[in-house]
Amino acid sequence: MKGYFYRLLHKYISLYCLSDNILMEISERKSPLESYFRGNYFNLKKDGLKDIKKADYVLLNGSLHYENDIQSYLENLSLHFQPKTRLMIVYYSSLWKPIVKLGTFLGLRSKTAEQNWISHEDMENFLLLSGFELVRNDQKVLLPIYIPLISNLINRYVAPLPLFKNLTLVNLSIAKLVYSEKKSPAKKPSVSIVVAARNEEGNIEEILRRIPKMGPHDELIFIEGHSKDKTWDKICSETKKYRGHLKIKNSQQDGKGKGDAVRKGFQMASNEILMILDADLTVPPEELPKFYKAIVEGKGEYINGSRLVYPMEKRAMRFFNILGNKFFAVAFSFVLGQRFKDTLCGTKVISRENYIQLSKNRKFFGDFDPFGDFDLIFGSARMGLKIVEVPIPYRERVYGDTNISRWRHGAILFAMLIFAARKIKFV
């Protein structure tokens, strides 16, 4: 029983703590997980907390059940955290208390002196009071003993479902330090704004004119995508005339699709913050400072636009597109464990540091994203980044036609969602 259960825990922890991350578990004795990890795993005792600053993840595996003062313990822990460090807490559902006691009585588990049975609401409150913010909470394991075929079926496919997840044994919470939210950095970071432009000749001048100043050395990167009109000529001519605050970089993409263009643009970027702005100007460039403020002030680490809050212009989004947006918002929220209202908005922001880490592990979700921003969503969720949506107005396209095929790209997106669900939800 123990071997199967801890193999499951190792699999769930490894989903977020990647092979090149440093994982430190705080335990007063030899951890049963120790034999399952290789390489960058360290077992700390309470008096070794000074080493936490080197960690990417700090693991508390059931240890909060034994703490007399959870708030004080977490407050002391927070003093040793860096902004990048994630706290991972494994705790067990109080619904299983009678079964756990029975298992102890029958000798199926070691006798322990659990004092605390913590609800989800209790855990979120403890984290808030002690200087942490809950990023996500997963509920796992309906059958902690191994029965061939049945255990895998139930724990992988049944346990994550909405009704059954409330009956699971294991809760796995990921939290971040509330550090940068209370003070902005002494030096304002600069932004690299990537615009993938295909058949957008009539919008290039407006983009250059309307992007506001955010950081001290902002840059705009145009990636042209084999246009049928004179988009490339327009980019070259307008950027030569430009005398504004932006540094301009231009290039033509090597492959096809917005995804290929965005990745090339991010490779060319040199600033601390990376932004995507759609060339159709349906999201006004004047809204970009809201995204900048959200990431600089630490409100979130991956910022996603939401077009479904404010009233939109009459022909900005067709009826079936709205239905598709709402469906994918619910589906993505379920699969990724963080709230999404508008997954299809093209305006997205992430730090360069986090993007580099994300891109190293892109193959985990497959390399077939034609849009260039959905692997950002999947990757950010897997990394435990705090995801925040910024509500924005959505305008009608003035020039040209959309490059998105509603049904074909919708089918691709659905396939990506199913693939991601098998990799991050039904594991």
Domain boundaries, the chain: 2-177, 191-424
- How much is the pLDDT for 368? 66
Q: Residue 156 class from Cβ within 10 Å (0-12 exposed, 13-18 middle, 19+ buried)? A: middle
CA torsion angle 324 326 329 333 (round to 10): -130
Helices 352-360 & 257-268 angle (0-180, nearest 10): 120
User: What class has domain 191-424?
Assistant: alpha beta
Task: Report the distance separating Cα 243 and Cα 238, nearest Å.
Answer: 10
- How much is the pLDDT for 327? 82
For 180, half-sphere exposure in the C-beta direction (CA atoms, 13 angstrom radius) is 19
3-state SS class at 257:
helix
What is the third-level CATH fold of 2-177? Rossmann fold (3.40.50)
Listed in sequence order, the residues at least 6 apart from 144 whose beta carbon sits closer than 8 Å to its beta carbon are: 1, 4, 5, 8, 169
Task: Report the distance separating Cα 230 and Cα 218, nearest Å.
Answer: 26
Task: Report the distance separating Cα 22 and Cα 52, nearest Å.
Answer: 10
- How much is the pLDDT for 372? 67
Q: What are phi and psi of 5, to 5 degrees?
A: -65, -45
- Of 282, 88, 84, residue with least CA distance to 177: 84
Q: Tokens in use for 91?
A: 């705790």
The reply to whether the predicted model has a pTM over 0.95 is no
369 in Cβ contact with 259 (< 8 Å): yes
- How much is the pLDDT for 113? 57
The residues with which 387 forms a beta bridge, in sequence order, are 302
One digit per residue, pLDDT tens: the chain, 427 residues? 678 999 999 999 999 988 789 999 998 778 888 888 877 888 887 667 888 888 999 999 988 988 888 999 999 999 889 888 999 999 998 888 787 777 666 666 666 655 778 888 889 889 988 989 999 999 999 999 999 999 999 999 999 998 899 999 999 999 998 854 444 556 899 999 999 999 999 999 999 999 999 999 999 999 999 999 999 999 999 999 999 999 999 999 988 888 889 999 999 999 999 999 999 998 899 999 999 999 998 888 999 998 777 766 655 566 666 777 778 778 888 888 777 777 778 899 999 999 999 988 887 877 666 776 678 888 898 898 988 889 888 887 766 666 555 566 678 778 888 888 888 888 8
Listed in sequence order, the residues at least 6 apart from 274 whose beta carbon sits closer than 8 Å to its beta carbon are: 191, 192, 194, 266, 349, 350, 351, 352, 355
Residue type for position 422: R
